[in-house]
Amino acid sequence: MTRKYIVVDLETTGNTHDRGDRIIQFSAVVIENLRIVDQYTTFINPGIPIPPFIEELTGIHDGMVHDAPEFKDVASIIHDLLKDAIFVAHNVIFDLRFLRNELDKAGYSNIGLDSIDTVEFAKILMPTASSFKLSELAEMLQLEHENPHQADSDALVTAELFLILIERVSSLPLITIEKLTDMAYSLKSDLYIIFQGVLQEKRKNIENLHHQLEVFRGIALKKKIFPQRINEERSLSFPKSIEEKMNLFSEMNDLKLRIGQIEMMDAVYQSFLNNKYAVIEAGTGTGKTLAYLLPSLYFANIQRQPVIISTYTIQMQEQIFNEIDRLKEIIPFSFQTSILKGRSNYINMLKFEQTLYDKDPQYDTVITKMQLLVWLVDTETGDMDELNVSSGGKLYIQRIKHDGWFSQKEKDPWIAHDFYLYARNLASRADLVITNHSMLLLDTENDQNILPDYQYIVIDEAHNLEKTARNCFGKKLEYNGLKFWIGRLGTLEKNNLFSKLEKLLNDKELSSSLHPLELEHIIIQLDLEIDELFNMIGKKVFQHYERKINKNTKQQLRITETMISDRKWIPIVLCAERVYDYFRTISKEVEQRLTLIKRENQNLKDREQAFLEETNSFLRDWNKIGEKIQQLFIKPSNQHVIWVEGDIRALPNSIGIYAQPINLGEELFDRFFIQKKGIVMTSATLTVNQSFNYFLNELGLPKEEVVEKIIPSPFCYKDMVKLMIPSDLPEVRGTDNDEYIEAISNHIISLANATDGKMLVLFTSYDMLRKTYQLIKDSSALEDFILLAQGITSGSRTRLTRNFQQFNKSILFGTSSFWEGVDIPGEDLSCLVIVRLPFSPPDEPITAAKYELIKKNGKNPFSLFALPEAVIRFKQGFGRLIRTESDRGVVIVLDRRIETTIYGKTFLNSIPDITVERGPLNAILSSIEKWL
């Protein structure tokens, strides 16, 4: 490992050298003998103005490069630095290509260099990192990163990251490094140089395996530890009085118990003790996580009954584990917690082991295998959700997921190391089992029963339970998904499941009733019929929205009983029946082949057994798809709303068909609530106008059977927030959409200048978001601001939020998922703009079906469903602004219906008591400047 490495970072005017973009800063860190020995940095005069976005991103402006050398003046220095070195960069393809172009232009052509990409390196060695962006890896590794997006700081941090990653390779067991080295030749950068070098050093000095690790069948993994259940003889009692609770928490210096928190602790404990259902709305800042964990732990230990804690988001699960760690310090008894998910979240080690023998040319598969080998040395759970893999890697994960056993469980050589069984074992010993809403509801299905036998549950983020239940009890069928499954099955020519299965039959000298060529013909016909089915459905969507072709991307078309009874629908049903028949025939034939192999051959090789498990897993999923085809097209239920969704510019590829229960209260009550003794449901947004009626109706819970409690936020909202309603905006109703968008765009521009950015703008429609964003961008009125928009600016919700926090003058445009779960505390967010009151469109399939049902029962759909649903959503949006007791800001509602309609008061009565100001924009801007 005595090679010389040059770690380079460039800042440029843009991404494309061929379009005239140039380097504005160059930095190179020299590494010799795995130590940083030197750094060379220079600004470079690009000969063109630096764009405002680059200036905002890097902090480098024209004045800083005005007197700097041109690239040709420093080209010889850079060329000499690179000589006999290995080139290292974070996203090496960009830096190396850009630099080569500039060197070539300066007369230094044909620079041949081995190169290493620290993004690729980090993906392999840090497979659970939430992001592989340099700034986020630096934060994770606690590396000092003084000036992100400046070449000197970025190059130094990249060099430090590179050395840490080499150290991580060196700490891996020899057996793991050997496997990684074999695979490294298939990577995009020359990482095999590193793996090879470490392997040679490792072989010279063979070390003992770390005491926490073991090697089984050539794979190193962490040993599984089964905690001992301590049956302490003790007389425990729940701390009932305020004094007892205060004494218990007195050792936690950073915690100040609040009255609301104490109230909630008692409410949770009593509902379990009295076998009651309880709904608790706990305002922001209550500390609800601690308020339900403490009584749950006491109850579980005193009653010797496990308590399930269910959440909606991974962030919430992390928060729960943080609070549990704090409780361990003060609770006067030992307790155990575990996390349990659905079987398919866990890795099947036999399948994984056998895929390692495949010579896979697929880059995403290779890098995912390498990530898994590194992860297995660290993971205690085997839960593949811990991994950050590419979309291509997720396809490979599908192959190695756990799906029970087709062969006898005892024949699996990995049975003693099985992660799923281990997770279940831990859950059976735990006082608290943490899971998610989907798992909680899927466990109610007959063939599941994954969770331990339980009667008591806390459902956090309970406002999302109804949405989760809709998805769990509903059906979804997508064109691209079906094509993926047919692709996995393949034909005899392709080396996929079908051809491998036939080869195994031949090897075992077995034959099935249907000739392979006949079965192949059926697979090909099925593929064609699926195209036909989705083309017909695509035409229906296109015809329905033909006049709106330039309007929107995604369209929804509800399949009504009238449409189904029309003779024009008959060809679709007939085609679906053919598809269903082909599905069943293929299923029967694959199952028959599996049974033949299983019955006739007791002595299967491990590779063959792993393949059978993979095929059986495929078959289970295949059968579920067949059932969905029947339920969606052939025997649709009138208790479900069915709709088609698709982008009319990309038919049939974009099409999905969905079905969800119209009224799931009854099903949810029968399948879930009635089976349990004590259920506590909590969230910050459950009431409308101080009433739980809407929430209880949606879940089918009789009001008289539920204990209700509202715990207000301890924050003094009057001193923290002002809500402002501009009076000089047009009314939503009766105003042309484009005219309305122009008006709100002008207001957003003015508000941005008054608040200096730090603004989250929430929309109810993506179409309006897109048009508003484009109008503001085209106006050039906010050139100094960073504009980030969901669905337009690339990146996930988390990435967009992080980017928003990174810049001083930034505006984030969001819809749908941005109304909740986005956490931007402190000065990063000081202005929240709600463009429209969040009513669901009346023609949205679920909403339309609910309206019809409520009208049929002689009631008012607006007051019973539309208004309360919008109020809950409004509360969630409002809650984005104040996250801690030191936050301060303004909420601007650009929808005048909040003050001009009778129902507007319901929105205002459902949020904390705050000052509301109304007036023309100029008066509001003046008020904002004084307030902030």
Q: Summarize the annotated binding site for ATP as residue ranges.
A: 282-289
Q: For residues 768 and 741, give the distance between their C-alpha atoms in angstroms, rounded to a whole number.
A: 7
| Gap between the Cα atoms of 748 and 530, Å rounded | 47
Q: How far is it, in rounded angstroms, from Cα 539 to Cα 445?
A: 36
Question: Are the beta carbons of 459 and 681 closer than 8 angstroms?
Answer: yes
User: 851 is written with which tokens?
Assistant: 């309206």
Name, in order, each residue with C-beta under 8 angstroms of 83's C-beta and a sequence gap of 6 or more.
none
Q: Which residues pair with 645 in a beta bridge?
A: 556, 656
Distance CA 623, CA 618 (A): 9
Report the DSSP beta bridge partners of residue 643. 558, 658
Using an 8 Å Cβ cutoff, are 612 and 482 in contact?
no
Tokens of 778: 């085209």
β-bridge pairing 4-12 and 23-32 = antiparallel
C-alpha span between 221 and 676 (Å, rounded): 38
Is the CB of residue 383 less than 8 Å from the CB of residue 340?
no
Task: Report how far Cα 131 is from the mean position of its chain's Cα atoms.
Answer: 12
Distance, CA of 820 to CA of 760 (rounded, Å)? 12
Among 851, 844, 819, 846, smallest CA distance to 832 is for: 819
Nearest Cα to 893, choosing from 837, 834, 829, 849? 834
Q: Note whether 924 and 724 are within 8 A (CB).
A: yes
Q: Please name the residues in contact with 274: beta carbons below 8 A apart, sequence gap of 6 or more.
A: 678
Name the 3-class secondary structure at 202.
helix
Backbone torsion region of residue 625, taken as left when φ is above 0, otherwise alpha when ψ lies between -120 and 50, otherwise beta: alpha
Q: Is 220 helix (H, G, I), strand (E, B) or coil?
A: strand
C-alpha–C-alpha distance, residues 602 and 611, integer Å:
15
Give the C-alpha separation, 675 to 669, whole Å: 8
Q: What is the DSSP string of 67-129?
A: TSPPHHHHHHHHHHHHTT-EEEETTHHHHHHHHHHHHHHTT-------EEEHHHHHHHH-TT-
Measure the CA–CA gap between 839 and 868, rounded to whole angstroms. 9
Beta bridge partners of 832: 760, 891
Q: Give the residue numbers of the binding site.
A: 282-289
Are the C-beta atoms of residues 222 and 212 closer than 8 Å to each other? yes
Question: Which pair of tokens denotes residue 841?
Answer: 């469109």
Closest listed residue to residue 473, CA positions, set 847, 846, 856: 846
- Is residue 889 within 8 Å of residue 831, measured between CB atoms? yes
Q: Based on C-alpha coordinates, what's the Rg of the chain?
A: 30
- 367: tokens are 């890098």
Q: Which amino acid is at 210?
A: H
850 within 8 A of 640, measured Cβ to Cβ? no
Output DSSP code: residue 709: E
Inter-CA distances, 502 with 167, 364, 499, 510, 607, Å: 46, 27, 5, 9, 15
How many Cβ atoms are within 10 Å of 565's Cβ, its own excluded? 9
Nearest to 402 by CA among 339, 472, 350: 350
